[in-house]
Amino acid sequence: MKVFIKFDFTQFCSRILDEKLNELNIKYRMLNFGEIEFLESVPADKLKAFDAILKEYGIEKIENQKVILVQKIKDTLIDMVLNANEGQNVKSSVYLSDKLGHSYGYLSNLFSEVTYTSIENFIILQRIEYAKSLITNTDLSLTEIAFKLQYSSVAHLSTQFKNTTGITPTTFQRIIAKRRTLKSN
Amino acid sequence: MQEDYTYVVLADDDEDDRLFFVEAFEELKIKTKVDVYKDGIELMDALNQEDSMLPNILFLDLNMPKKSGLECLIDIKANNRFKDMAIAIYSTSASEEDIENTFVQGANIYIKKPSAFNDLKKILSDVVTVNWQYHTNGLDKENFLLRL
Amino acid sequence: MPLRFITNSERFLKIIFGLTLFVVLVMGGLAYRYVKELTKSIDEVQHNYEVHILLEKMVSALKDAESGKRGYIITKDSTFLEPLLTNSDTFQYSLAQLEELTKKNPEQQKNIEELRTKVEKNLAIFQKTLQLANNNNIDSPEFIEAFKEGRRTMNSVRFKIKQMAAHETNILGTSRAKSYKNLNNAPMVVYYVIILSLLILLLTYLHISRSLKILKEKNELLETFKKSTTQSEIISKHGNWIWHVEDNIYEYSDNLYRLLGEEPQSFEPNLENYLSFVHPDDIEKLTQHVEEMKENEDLPFIHYRVIQKNGIIKHFKAYAKLLVDSDGYKRLLGTTADITDEIENYRIIEKRNLELERSNKELSSFNYVASHDLQEPLRKIQTFLSRLEDKEKDNLSNNGQLYIERIKSSTSRMRSLIDDLLQFSRTNKSEEALADSNINILLETAKHDLAEIIADKRARISSDSIPSMRVIPFQIKQLFLNLLSNSLKYSREKTAPIITISYSRTNASALPNVKYSKYYAYHTITIQDNGIGFDQEYAEKIFVLFNRLHNKTEYSGTGIGLSICKKIVENHNGYITAYGNPDIGATFTVYLPIT
């Protein structure tokens, strides 16, 4: 026997949202479909529970546009760091606004607002992380890594590495090597 | 943000240090939940409960009675359930070799307890920020080493 | 060299002996030949003489017969005929004898045959004349004719005999000339042979005397060597022994007895006697070693104890090696050494090491106390102070605020003291921490740590490129940090510090105040500043712990920084020197060995 069913997704989702929000005792207002405004501040654990419940029904909370753009900024910057052409230095600000079609000032403010850190810091962090992976996973010397990552000198790389992580690249290398021997034993 | 707050736990036998730690987080603008334990045994008992909520960052004093921070660290690293926790060593002072050893044993962060409250606030804020960066940017946690 | 000499000598003697034997044989042969020659010569003379006698006898018999015949003819007395009757036989006999004597000489044989015919003819004539005489036909022409005939034959016989005698003499003459010639050479040959023998004798004498001299020298050398061995045995407390493998006989040196606390050669050197000295716990082990030694004809290093009769226990170490001489005779040469002192010293060192380790442990636990237990309350004082300052400052009177400032400066001074002291006690030598390091980076890191002061003082720091070295990285960083902060701290007022770091290499011989060095050359890093400098007479003092040249209110400092520098440099087997010039500047030179 075959039966044919007709769904009304809007009604179905609205019912579930309403049910669950009431269950959690959250006061809300439905704006458009897929957009909800909480009428009072919701404690974090309640919000988390809400997220978890929705997930069961295949419903996911969409992060806001700013977060999406920040993610784009991050992706662009990571791409820039990882694919840095040796010896070819492009200014990150120019690169970013070219790629994303927003002014650097806007992007920079947005980034700081969402992540609490600056784009510059983020770049440094990414470069140092990349340097770390090169130190641990390749045979490249520090000099070669410094060149690859467009640092003016090994000393510059070391200084920035030390500033960011609190340890020198050589110490870092030694610690990772010792950890690996410790694990393999 | 997937989580609204960072859950941090400190195990330290020193009452004053626990006080400074809690006060520092209270004064910081970061949303955190702070729990403190007064020694390694108490900490491990809490962590080892099946339904326990695991901290994002665990701060370990090295010199504690009954079970030292290093012993806790080694136990934690041996248990796969704790693999997502960032471990910060929070100690008075140690030699370079000892510091290096905690990293080798799997610590991510080494903090020398500062002697000014504002320094402590700055350090804790940095730790939470960097940890969050590692968390949100999908960085290789194996390479997460920080010394403050 | 001596061995080769002896072998050569032996070969030489063998050759000489062979040569001499040959010469003697030659001489014997020659003598035999000459004696034989002489005998032959005598025989020939004898033979000649006999032939002559026989011939004479025959002539005389003929003469007798003739005279008998003549007597008979005249007297008719038959007694005259007696010799005639016997003579026939005599002739035959003599002829036979002659034949026998000269049978080797065909010419004489022929002569004898001729003689025989002539004699027979003569005899026949003899008979005829006799018959004629008997018939008293003496006056008959027949008789006269026969008589004459008899005379002629007689003469012919005589002639023949003379001829034969002459022939015989002739033979003798040639033979004598020959043997004379032979015998004449003999003295000459003998003379030469004797000269040769003398030469050989002389040569042999020379050689043997030379060999003897060398042998004597070697012997003396051996004697000296033996004495020095005995001496060294006593001084180095070891004894030698020999085990004759085939005969299973032992030989012990005097000192081996002394090592056992006994008089030299006071007991028979055998295994049983020796084992009576060995420590009961080691007898089994040693016996086993000896069994193995006998089997393998070799003894590796072994160790055992002996107990002297006075009860003193000694530690022995023994070793032996097989020696096979050129005759294939096997001996095991062994050395036994008394290593009791060594072991005692080792024990003392071990004990001291333990003590050192213990005191080191105590020191590190003191470090820990200093690092943890002293720092902790201080840190809390400082933290509470900062809390007090932050939260309650406004509630305090001016005095109260001033006191807080004073407490703060005192605690921070205490902090630097504790930190520096810790730094000093933690600056230990550790081989594991050594790593090939980029010194330039370490210098940069040190500069970075000081970035704030450098900027404040507007200091200019320039540096050469320094090659990589095998060092303890954080210590070298600390070294730069301390030296740079020293230069920055003791800068002249209103003068921007200029610090120059230069690199060069120095040969060990050119190092100041260093006489011996196990390294050939040193990396030399010089840190020169334009600060207040110091009087050169304090150049040594400034490295001493807690030594300060200045009042602490003038210049902050704990008096530990440079001591740490010295310790770090010494950890790297290097040297550090200071050169000061008041109001002009100071120069610190660090020498690190090039390994």
Candidates A75, A56, A58, A78; CA nearest to A67 is A75
Q: How many CB pairs under 8 A join A and C?
A: 28
Q: What is the mean pLDDT of residues B2-10?
A: 79
At C339-385, the pLDDT tens digits run 998 889 999 999 999 999 898 888 877 776 776 678 888 899 999 99
Tokens of C460: 């200019």
SS3 content of chain C, % helix, strand, coil (to 5): 65, 15, 20
Q: Which of B80-84, C161-165, C352-356, C492-496 has the lowest mean pLDDT?
A: C161-165
State which H helix or E strand residue C330 sits in.
Answer: strand C330-338
HSE of C39, CA atoms in CB hemisphere, 13 A: 6
Per-residue exposure over A140-155, b if at least 16 CB sit within 10 Å of its own CB, e if not:
eebeebbbbbbbeebb
Contact assessment for residue C375 and residue C418, using Cβ atoms and an 8 Å cutoff: yes
Percent of chain A residues past pLDDT 90, beyond the cut: 3
At C131-145, the pLDDT tens digits run 777 777 667 777 778
Q: What is the mean pLDDT of residues B124-130?
A: 89
Question: Would you say residue B72 has pLDDT above 60?
Answer: yes
Q: Which of B92-96, C362-366, C423-427 has the lowest mean pLDDT?
A: B92-96
pLDDT at B1: 37
Question: Would you say residue C419 has pLDDT above 50?
Answer: yes
Q: How many CB pairs under 8 A join B and C?
A: 42
Question: Would you say residue A89 has pLDDT above 70?
Answer: no
Residue of chain B nearest C374, judged by CA positions = B92
Pick from C375, C386, C430: which is nearest to B116 by CB? C386
Tell me the shortest Cα–Cα distance from A179 to chain C, in angstroms.
Answer: 16
pLDDT at B2: 44
At A99-125, the pLDDT tens digits run 888 888 888 888 888 777 888 888 888
Pick from A47, A78, A132: which is nearest to B4 by CB? A47
Mean pLDDT of chain C: 84
What is the edge-to-edge ordering of all strands in the sheet holding C585-593?
C460-463, C498-507, C521-528, C585-593, C575-581
Collapsing DSSP states into helix, strand and coil, what is residue C62? helix
Q: What is the mean pLDDT of residues C222-249?
A: 88
At C80-130, the pLDDT tens digits run 777 666 667 777 787 788 778 777 778 878 888 887 888 788 777 877 777
Pick from A159, A162, A170: which is nearest to C437 by CB? A170
Q: CB of C434 within 8 Å of any CB in chain A?
A: no
pLDDT at C502: 93
Question: Can you tell me which residue has the tokens 């859950």?
Answer: B7
Q: CB of B50 within 8 Å of any CB in chain A?
A: no
Candidates A35, B92, A90, B115; CA nearest to C384 is B115
pLDDT at C1: 46
Candidates A175, A167, A166, A169; CA nearest to A149 is A169
Strands C585-593, C575-581: pairing kind? antiparallel
Q: Which of A27-31, C40-44, C96-100 has the lowest mean pLDDT?
A: A27-31
Q: What is the mean pLDDT of residues A151-163?
A: 86
Task: Please give the Cα distance from C240 to C233 (Å, whole number).
Answer: 8
Strands C435-437, C469-471: pairing kind? antiparallel
Question: Would you say residue C6 has pLDDT above 70?
Answer: no
Architecture per CATH, domain C432-593, reads as: 2-Layer Sandwich (3.30)
State which H helix or E strand residue C503 sits in.
Answer: strand C498-507
Task: Please give the Cα distance from C303 to C281 (Å, whole number).
Answer: 12
Q: What is the mean pLDDT of residues A20-43?
A: 72
pLDDT at A26: 79
Task: Please give the Cα distance from C199 to C189 (Å, whole number).
Answer: 15
- The full set of domain ranges for chain A reads 9-56, 66-184
Residue C533: C-alpha distances to residues B125, C456, C487, C528, C537 (Å): 44, 20, 9, 10, 12
Question: Would you say residue A86 has pLDDT above 60?
Answer: no
Q: Who's near B94: CB < 8 A, 6+ residues apart?
A: B62, B102, B112, C371
B touches which chains (3+ CB pairs under 8 A)? A, C
Task: Please give the Cα distance from A58 to A47 (Å, whole number).
Answer: 16
Contact assessment for residue B56 and residue B47, using Cβ atoms and an 8 Å cutoff: no
Q: Higher model confidence: residue A32 or residue C550?
A: C550
Chain A environment of C464 (Cβ under 8 Å): none
Per-residue exposure over C203-223, b if at least 16 CB sit within 10 Å of its own CB, e if not:
ebeeeeeebeeeeeebeeeee
Q: Higher model confidence: residue C474 or residue B122?
A: B122
Q: What is the CATH number of domain C237-338?
A: 3.30.450.20
ipTM: 0.86
Task: Please give the Cα distance from C322 to C303 (Å, whole number).
Answer: 19
At B35-69, the pLDDT tens digits run 999 999 999 999 999 888 899 999 999 888 888 89
Tell me the shortest Cα–Cα distance from A5 to chain B, in angstroms.
Answer: 36
AA letter at A124? I
Q: Higher model confidence: residue B136 or residue A177?
A: A177
Residue of chain B nearest C474, judged by CA positions = B96
Q: Higher model confidence: residue A5 or residue C569?
A: C569
Tell me the shortest Cα–Cα distance from C390 to chain B, in angstroms.
Answer: 9
Q: What is the mean pLDDT of residues C55-68?
A: 78
DSSP per-residue codes, C559-583: S-HHHHHHHHHHHTT-EEEEEEETT
DSSP per-residue codes, A21-66: HHHTT--EEE-STT-EEESSPPPHHHHHHHHHHHHHTT--PPPPHH
Does the beta-carbon distance from A136 to B103 stay under 8 Å?
no
Question: Of A44-53, C483-492, C539-548, C554-563, which one has max mean pLDDT?
Answer: C483-492
pLDDT at C174: 81
Candidates A69, A83, A161; CA nearest to A115 is A69
Q: What is the mean pLDDT of residues C492-507?
A: 90
Candidates B95, B123, B148; CA nearest to B25 is B123
Tokens of C89: 């036989």
Chain C environment of B116 (Cβ under 8 Å): 382-383, 386
Does the beta-carbon distance from C444 to A163 stay under 8 Å?
no
Q: How confident is the model at residue C393 (pLDDT cuts 50, 70, 90)?
A: confident
Q: Which of A159-168, B119-128, C188-197, C465-474 has the lowest mean pLDDT?
A: C188-197
Contact assessment for residue A127 and residue B107, using Cβ atoms and an 8 Å cutoff: no
Chain A environment of B56 (Cβ under 8 Å): none
Does the beta-carbon distance from A163 to C448 stay under 8 Å?
yes
Chain C environment of A170 (Cβ under 8 Å): 435, 437-438, 441, 473
**What are the φ and ψ backbone dihedral angles of C335, each rounded to 5 degrees?**
-130, 130
Percent of chain A residues past pLDDT 70, beyond the cut: 85
Collapsing DSSP states into helix, strand and coil, what is residue C299? strand
C touches which chains (3+ CB pairs under 8 A)? A, B
Residue among C436, C444, C447 with most chain A CBs within 10 A, to mutate: C444
Tell me the shortest Cα–Cα distance from A103 to chain B, in angstroms.
Answer: 23
pLDDT at C351: 94
Residue of chain B nearest A51, judged by CA positions = B2
Mean pLDDT of chain A: 80
Question: Would you say residue B121 has pLDDT above 90?
Answer: yes
Residue B73 CB neighbours (<10 A): 21
Candidates B118, B131, B133, B2; CA nearest to B59 is B131
Question: Would you say residue C553 has pLDDT above 80?
Answer: no
Q: What is the mean pLDDT of residues C248-259?
A: 89
pLDDT at C538: 85
Q: Who's near C524: CB < 8 A, 6+ residues apart?
A: C503, C504, C505, C506, C589, C590, C591
Question: Can you tell me which residue has the tokens 């011939």?
Answer: C55
User: Looking at chain B, how many residues does it have?
Assistant: 148
Question: Would you say residue C512 has pLDDT above 70?
Answer: yes
pLDDT at C579: 92
Q: CB of C449 within 8 Å of any CB in chain A?
A: no
Pick from C444, C448, C473: which is nearest to A170 by CB? C473
Tokens of C505: 């290499």
What are the residue ranges of helices labelled H in C268-339?
271-275, 280-296
Q: What is the mean pLDDT of residues C1-28?
A: 75
Chain B environment of A136 (Cβ under 8 Å): 142-143
Q: What is the CATH number of domain B6-136?
A: 3.40.50.2300
- The full set of domain ranges for chain B reads 6-136
The topology under which CATH files domain A66-184 is: Arc Repressor Mutant, subunit A (1.10.10)
